[in-house]
């Protein structure tokens, strides 16, 4: 560690969520790992243990953690990498002026104050999670993921009794075990059905897995653009996004200062950071797509791999031969990376350099364990273009590339659409699984209609929930500003919460063994008028409380056995409690048993027989 | 008409939506009918006709209409009813003090200033749309619906060419014709698959249909409660809800002044108004469920039928024998009407008076053509309780009641849940169709998870889109305040827009022949950088424009060929246009043809063969 300069670091949002406590679980094979989970306490009258939930928020929600953005998070994974014996430290690439848009010193975002020498694989070694999985090794990352995905279910008490009922989902092709072990994670990674994006140069990472047999994950996009640019804003956006549940964050910056802002982000990110390297490469050639070269691109990959980017979106599936298929489309090519590559191919009338140099790209990814997120450069940008020849032609190429990458021990996921009406969503997943050897699918939405700009978090949230159920492993969020403008902090939150809803709904429908526990805990709180518990167990306690207090602001109302919607006389839940009290007197439980067994409570056998025949 | 008093009428929101013009189409069999549609003009550079959309907003969006809330809307349907020869005018029931909660004069909402003598069926006559349909009569209401559902597609020009492509949905059991005729509407009504809720005492109504082969409809709830109460607010909420697309409005008032407020609402409502009569009946017995009687309830039905309520939610399916099935539930009974009836049954240990007197209820509905909305009093209030024995036992009873009502020529739809995880939605629809003879399904959401209070418009919008696709005919909206508080004006709008999204997504997925036309028009506008058209064609032009202007406020930016999201260099659509220009030079269209035909553009036959075999 080498402190370069002393600068004023930006502040970020810290502190626990309401009624929440951070807990850390240890591993068995790797006892030193500290796997974070969040415990939400409920009111003592409930007689229930805290509800344990997945926690992507990192140390920022831990009051015991000392947060200093100018130092960065603790680098616990460096040890893990070194312990493998497969890595070497080296000097790394020098930062060049074009990495930050050739800005003069006074306009440059300061470099991150602490410099770290990068690691890379020793010659002949692969340091990817896939390589280790294939070698039969359960890495610390794999055990970390296993403990994390179990959500501490070992200690559930009352809630655990309901496990069996909670498992009545329809998982399609997913096979989700009751409990997850490090060995099982290894098998999933070895098969290619899951990836653990974890660059060896991102030791601040808390590892997570993306795969259809794991909890459904979500990604939030951040990034400056030519229009606006601030390191402090972007770091806070990242911290803010993970506070509400983003599992990974993509830095889609396209303006100046890209290199330095990315450094600040990664050094403070406990989640995987993804990028689209072609964006920075394009900046290096002044935005002229035709001037892109393999050399500029290659140099950008190494630059970013040394910084610790965990996954690269690479649009290598946009081939020269696919471009004519987009000419009759209603909305052409809507992927930025896809359109840039298409323009390059067409201008030079040559095959894409990403496609031609894919082998070399794999070698770089293999040396740092950067996962592939094979970009869907020809994804549909409208309902009219959904599931068309262009999209599926590219998907076929992505299948080819998946095989090549896996042959080099590289981890791969596949990006997906976009805009797709509901009836075309399922076939999109099935085709992806078939063509891409069950590589994890990572989709943007999809939006199920084009007619609601301003509400595209919702149009896409519908598609996201469905495609998540069908087997998509990670859902890329869409904010209310999609198609219209740049998301602000509020938009980021709304986008993240909407996608947490979609992901959770998918987990419920797939029958994830722990998913329904939180629904049940919140529903019990609702039925028992534990208002504070209702707020605290929700995805956004602040908003839930705010909405409640708009009508009934007094603290006394938070123990009231009714609410503003119906008032006391019309409260169905209050009446339900009266009914139960009465029912207990009458031995209703036994009567229900009788009814369920096919009998009837108040009818004679003749009446039952008569009822079985239609009345007209 | 008899003006009782002169009072200051409330003001409501009027005026057209941006770039929109109201048009009225005439009928053929009934040339006097004026069927409203909305034409949205697009920029002349598009070279496209206006886009015609369904319009539930009534005269309020017509600048030529004179709106006076104290007079009410024009009563065009009175003539239609009289022309049948089946109705008689009579004195009607006198308003009683308990109809308005026994309020003293100074606290009473003023009576609606104009009194109308009610109509009812002559003895021995049925005046329901179902009776006429069965008799082979295409009523003005039926032709109105037919013209309305076609969305003026006769005059579509360029957009109509795409009709065929737009019809690739998966309709499940729905059978949607290319064009709808009055005769076809009659058949749908006669079969019971659709209803036209249209009380003969609501002549201000613009008729609409609810059925799985029609456009998917949405309902918005309004209504005062014990906590807050204002006639002006409720009338404006109704006008506001239909402005954004609510097809029907339910008045769920539970406080005082119920009778008078309802009069103001109905006299100014161009959409069907639904109620839950048990709410008012309960107010009449001071909120004590046990004190409810058939006589009080019956009197309330007549009171509301004379006012012109178009459909009644009646929880006659909550039978004494079902109550024990709810005792082990996580959230008991969450329907207000359901819990009231359950309490009554249990207290008296008697079968529900709604069930026992169902025949007489049918006689009342038959005399005014009030449609049944058979309430799901035992709908699940949590994921844990979805699709349980209680819900399905009640559904079976609703099937019985449907037969009884239909035998009396009454129109019936069936209410549905509630809270249902995604994998249990489809079976819910299938069971409803089977048990209830294909009566239209009218569902609340369903919410696909319980963990997001504050966002339940979204958790339920996901379920609503799916259940709409599967065959639900009308979706009852949920606002962001659900479970927390009373919706304000903004919440009503967000709820309506979210449900318009769900309904439209369902129509797309079902392959409704006109649904995709609006998506395509908006997508073309997007691709051609016609920003104003994008805003105007969207469900909420105000919000779309606002979000755009937050980043790029200048008027000049609304003709810019890029936007704030990516800036000019990274605009994929701009690049797509460059690609098309280049493609034209190169004869790309022909090349695409070749590729689609199974060939390849740049590969030799040997290469193609090699590609067909896996690389590893």
B567 annotated as belonging to a binding site for a ligand: no
Report the pLDDT value the prediction gives residue A581, as an integer from 0 to 100: 83
B54 annotated as belonging to a binding site for a ligand: no
pLDDT in tens, A416-432: 999 999 999 999 999 99
Alpha-carbon gap: B365 to the closest alpha carbon of chain A (Å): 20
**Residue B465 in 3-state DSSP?**
helix
Question: For B433-458, what is the mean pLDDT?
Answer: 98
Distance CA A421, CA A121 (A): 44
CB nearest to B383's CB, from A462, A508, A589: A508
Residue B225 · residue B162 · CB < 8 Å: no
Alpha-carbon gap: A66 to the closest alpha carbon of chain B (Å): 31
Here the tokens at position A99 are 């990495």
Least confident stretch, A510-514, B107-111, B162-166: B162-166
Closest-approach residue (CA) in chain B for A328: B589
Residue B180 · residue B209 · CB < 8 Å: no
Residue B354 · residue B185 · CB < 8 Å: no
Whether the per-residue pLDDT at A412 is higher than 70: the answer is yes
Alpha-carbon gap: B306 to the closest alpha carbon of chain A (Å): 25
> With an 8 Å Cβ cutoff, are B576 and A334 in contact?
yes
Whether the per-residue pLDDT at B563 is higher than 70: the answer is no
Question: For A190-218, what is the mean pLDDT?
Answer: 98
Least confident stretch, A17-31, A481-495, B445-459, B572-586: B572-586
Chain B residues inside the 8 Å CB shell of A520: 330, 382-384, 450
A76 annotated as belonging to a binding site for a ligand: no
Question: For A23-35, what is the mean pLDDT?
Answer: 96
> With an 8 Å Cβ cutoff, are B225 and A567 in contact?
yes
Chain B residues inside the 8 Å CB shell of A483: 526, 534, 565
CB nearest to B572's CB, from A323, A338, A454: A338
Residue B590 · residue B601 · CB < 8 Å: no
Residue B80 · residue B138 · CB < 8 Å: no
Report the pLDDT value the prediction gives residue B229, as an integer from 0 to 100: 56
> With an 8 Å Cβ cutoff, are A327 and B520 in contact?
no
Give, rounded to a whole angstrom, the gap between the first and last alpha carbons of chain A.
85
> With an 8 Å Cβ cutoff, are B577 and A332 in contact?
yes
Residue B437 · residue B406 · CB < 8 Å: yes
At a CB cut-off of 8 Å and minimum separation 6, what does A176 contact?
A213, A510, A511, A512, A513
Whether the per-residue pLDDT at B259 is higher than 60: the answer is yes
Q: State whether the Cα torsion A374-A378-A381-A384 is positive or negative.
A: negative
Predicted ipTM of the assembly: 0.94
> With an 8 Å Cβ cutoff, are B546 and A614 in contact?
no
Report the pLDDT value the prediction gives residue B550, as an integer from 0 to 100: 86
Report the pLDDT value the prediction gives residue A571, as an integer from 0 to 100: 83
Question: For A280-286, what is the mean pLDDT?
Answer: 96
Confidence of residue A254 (pLDDT cuts 50, 70, 90): confident
How many beta carbons lie within 10 A of that of residue B15, not counting itself? 11
Share of chain A above pLDDT 90, in %: 81
Rg (CA), chain B: 26
B335 annotated as belonging to a binding site for a ligand: yes
Planar angle of CA B381, B387, B392, nearest 5 degrees:
105
Closest-approach residue (CA) in chain A for B289: A569
> With an 8 Å Cβ cutoff, are A458 and B501 in contact?
yes
Here the tokens at position B64 are 């030529």
Distance CA B335, CA B341 (A): 10
Report the pLDDT value the prediction gives residue A456, as an integer from 0 to 100: 98
Chain A residues inside the 8 Å CB shell of B539: 451-452, 455
Share of chain A above pLDDT 70, in %: 89
Chain B residues inside the 8 Å CB shell of A566: 225, 254, 336
Partners of B484 in beta bridges = none
Interface test mutation site (partner B, options A448, A602, A604, max chain B beta carbons within 10 A): A448
> With an 8 Å Cβ cutoff, are A519 and B383 in contact?
yes
CB nearest to B583's CB, from A327, A500, A535: A327
Burial (CB count within 10 angstroms: exposed 0-12, middle 13-18, buried 19+), residue A606: exposed
Distance CA B96, CA A603 (A): 40
Closest-approach residue (CA) in chain A for B278: A570
Residue B116 to residues B11, B69, B263, B282: CA-CA distances in angstroms? Answer: 22, 15, 11, 27
Side-by-side strand order, sheet with A20-25: A20-25, A35-40, A51-54
Report the pLDDT value the prediction gives residue B595, as an integer from 0 to 100: 55
Confidence of residue A563 (pLDDT cuts 50, 70, 90): low
Here the tokens at position B540 are 């909420």
Chain B residues inside the 8 Å CB shell of A569: 226, 254, 282, 287
Residue B317 · residue B376 · CB < 8 Å: yes
Size of the A and B interface in Cβ pairs below 8 Å: 480
Which residue in A42, A167, A528, A163 sits closest to B330, CA to CA? A528
Chain A residues inside the 8 Å CB shell of B449: 501, 504-505, 508, 519
A571 annotated as belonging to a binding site for a ligand: yes
CB nearest to B508's CB, from A421, A516, A586: A421
Backbone angles phi, psi at A343, to 5 degrees: -65, -45
A315 annotated as belonging to a binding site for a ligand: yes
Chain A residues inside the 8 Å CB shell of B572: 332-336, 338-340, 381
CB nearest to B343's CB, from A162, A498, A579: A579
Distance CA B216, CA B362 (A): 27
Alpha-carbon gap: A596 to the closest alpha carbon of chain B (Å): 7
CB nearest to A384's CB, from B519, B550, B596: B519
B257-294 burial, b at 16+ Cβ within 10 Å, e below that, comes to bbbbbbbbbbbbbbbbbbbbbbbbbbbbeeeebeebee
Q: Which string of DSSP letters, residue by residue, matches A551-578?
A: H--SGGGGS-SS-TTTTTTT-HHHHHHH
Report the pLDDT value the prediction gives residue B1, as an integer from 0 to 100: 45
pLDDT in tens, B33-46: 999 999 999 999 99
Alpha-carbon gap: B604 to the closest alpha carbon of chain A (Å): 13
Here the tokens at position A387 are 């599931």
Reported pTM: 0.94
Confidence of residue A613 (pLDDT cuts 50, 70, 90): very low
Least confident stretch, A61-70, A129-138, B97-106, B571-580: B571-580
> With an 8 Å Cβ cutoff, are B404 and A351 in contact?
no
Residue A218 · residue A442 · CB < 8 Å: no
How many beta carbons lie within 10 A of that of residue A332, not counting itself? 26
Share of chain B above pLDDT 70, in %: 89
Whether the per-residue pLDDT at B196 is higher than 60: the answer is yes
Report whether the peptide linkage leading into residue A418 is cis, meaning its omega lies within 30 degrees of zero: yes
Distance CA A234, CA A264 (A): 9
Chain B residues inside the 8 Å CB shell of A552: 485
Here the tokens at position A119 are 């690691």
**Residue B415 in 3-state DSSP?**
strand
Here the tokens at position A127 are 């340091």
A335 annotated as belonging to a binding site for a ligand: yes
CB nearest to B324's CB, from A451, A497, A601: A601
Average pLDDT, chain B: 91
Alpha-carbon gap: B576 to the closest alpha carbon of chain A (Å): 6
Partners of B443 in beta bridges = B416, B475
At a CB cut-off of 8 Å and minimum separation 6, what does A590 contact?
none
Chain A residues inside the 8 Å CB shell of B334: 572-573, 576
Question: For B143-157, what is the mean pLDDT?
Answer: 83
> With an 8 Å Cβ cutoff, are A485 and B565 in contact?
yes
Report the pLDDT value the prediction gives residue A31, as an integer from 0 to 100: 96
Closest-approach residue (CA) in chain A for B397: A611
Distance CA B46, CA B528 (A): 8
Report the pLDDT value the prediction gives residue B586, as an integer from 0 to 100: 66
Closest-approach residue (CA) in chain A for B162: A384
Partners of A121 in beta bridges = A87
> With an 8 Å Cβ cutoff, are A570 and B254 in contact?
yes
SS (H, E, C) B475-511: EECCCCCCCCCCCCHHHHHHHHHHHHHHHHHHHHHHC
Distance CA B357, CA B360 (A): 5
Interface test mutation site (partner A, options B317, B332, B421, B494, max chain A beta carbons within 10 A): B421
Alpha-carbon gap: A502 to the closest alpha carbon of chain B (Å): 8
Here the tokens at position B169 are 């949905």
Report whether the peptide linkage leading into residue A446 is cis, meaning its omega lies within 30 degrees of zero: yes
pLDDT in tens, A106-143: 889 999 999 999 999 999 999 999 999 999 999 999 99
At a CB cut-off of 8 Å and minimum separation 6, what does B1 contact?
B114, B115, B116
Which residue in A343, A186, A14, A50 sits closest to B571, CA to CA? A343
Question: For B339-355, what is the mean pLDDT?
Answer: 95
Whether the per-residue pLDDT at A27 is higher than 50: the answer is yes
Chain B residues inside the 8 Å CB shell of A394: none
Partners of A23 in beta bridges = A37
Which residue in A73, A427, A404 sits closest to A266, CA to CA? A73
pLDDT in tens, B388-434: 999 999 999 999 999 999 999 999 999 999 999 999 999 999 999 99
Whether the per-residue pLDDT at B560 is higher than 80: the answer is no
Torsion, Cα of B223, B229, B232, B233 (10° steps): -60
> With an 8 Å Cβ cutoff, are B403 and A615 in contact?
yes
Residue with tokens 């403070």: A268
Distance CA A160, CA A55 (A): 20
């Amino acid at each position: 560690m080498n402190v370069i300069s002393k600068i004023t670091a930006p502040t970020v949002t810290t502190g626990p969520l309401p009624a929440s406590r951070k807990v850390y679980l240890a591993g068995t094979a790797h006892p030193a790992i500290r796997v974070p989970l969040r415990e939400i306490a409920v009111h003592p009258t409930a007689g229930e243990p805290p509800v344990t939930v997945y926690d992507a928020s990192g140390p920022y929600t831990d009051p015991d953690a000392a947060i200093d953005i100018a130092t960065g998070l603790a680098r616990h994974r460096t040890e893990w990498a070194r312990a493998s014996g497969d890595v070497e430290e080296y000097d790394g690439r020098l930062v060049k002026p074009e990495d930050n848009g050739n800005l003069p010193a006074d306009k440059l975002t300061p470099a991150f104050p602490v410099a770290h020498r990068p690691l890379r694989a020793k010659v002949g070694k692969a340091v990817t999670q896939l390589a280790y999985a294939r070698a039969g090794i359960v890495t610390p990352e794999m055990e970390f993921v296993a403990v994390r995905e179990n959500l501490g279910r070992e200690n559930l008490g009352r809630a655990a009794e309901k496990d069996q009922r909670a498992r009545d989902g329809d998982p399609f092709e997913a096979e989700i075990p009751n409990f997850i072990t490090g060995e099982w994670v290894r098998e999933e990674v070895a098969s290619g059905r899951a990836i653990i994006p974890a660059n060896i140069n991102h030791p601040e990472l808390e590892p997570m897995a993306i795969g259809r047999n794991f909890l459904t994950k979500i990604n939030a996009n951040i990034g400056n653009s030519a229009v606006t640019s601030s390191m402090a804003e972007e770091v806070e956006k990242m911290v803010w996004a993970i506070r509400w549940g983003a599992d990974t964050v993509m830095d889609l910056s396209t303006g100046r200062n890209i290199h330095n802002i990315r450094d600040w982000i990664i050094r403070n990110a406990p989640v995987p950071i993804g990028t689209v390297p072609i964006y920075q490469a394009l900046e290096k050639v002044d935005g002229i797509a035709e001037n892109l070269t393999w050399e500029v691109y290659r140099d950008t990959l190494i630059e970013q791999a040394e910084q610790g980017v965990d996954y690269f979106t690479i649009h290598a599936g946009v081939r020269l031969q696919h471009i004519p298929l987009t000419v009759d489309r209603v909305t052409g090519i809507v992927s930025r990376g896809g359109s840039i590559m298409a323009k390059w191919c067409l201008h030079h009338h040559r095959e894409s350099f990403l496609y031609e140099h894919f082998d070399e790209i794999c070698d770089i990814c293999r040396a740092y364990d950067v996962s592939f997120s094979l970009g869907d450069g020809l994804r549909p940008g409208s309902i009219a273009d959904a599931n068309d020849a262009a999209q599926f032609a590219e998907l076929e190429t992505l299948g080819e590339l998946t095989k090549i990458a896996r042959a080099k021990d590289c981890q791969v996921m596949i990006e997906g659409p976009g805009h797709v009406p509901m009836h075309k969503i399922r076939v999109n997943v099935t085709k992806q699984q078939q063509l891409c050897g069950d590589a994890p699918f990572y989709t943007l939405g999809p939006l199920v209609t084009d007619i609601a700009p301003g509400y595209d978090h919702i149009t896409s949230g519908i598609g996201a929930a469905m495609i998540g159920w069908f087997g998509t492993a990670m859902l890329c969020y869409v904010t209310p500003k999609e198609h219209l403008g740049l998301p602000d902090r509020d938009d980021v939150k709304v986008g993240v919460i909407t996608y947490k809803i979609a992901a959770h709904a998918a987990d419920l429908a797939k029958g994830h063994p722990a998913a329904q526990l939180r629904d049940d805990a919140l529903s019990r709180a609702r039925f028992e008028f534990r208002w504070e518990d209702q707020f605290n167990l929700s995805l956004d306690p602040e908003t839930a409380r705010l909405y409640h207090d708009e009508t009934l602001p007094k603290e006394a109302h938070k123990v009231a056995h009714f609410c503003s919607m119906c008032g006391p006389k019309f409260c169905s839940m209050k009446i339900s409690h009266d009914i139960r009290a009465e029912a207990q007197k009458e031995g209703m439980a036994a009567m229900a048993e009788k009814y369920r067994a096919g009998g009837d409570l108040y009818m004679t056998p003749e009446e039952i027989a008569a009822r079985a025949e239609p009345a007209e």
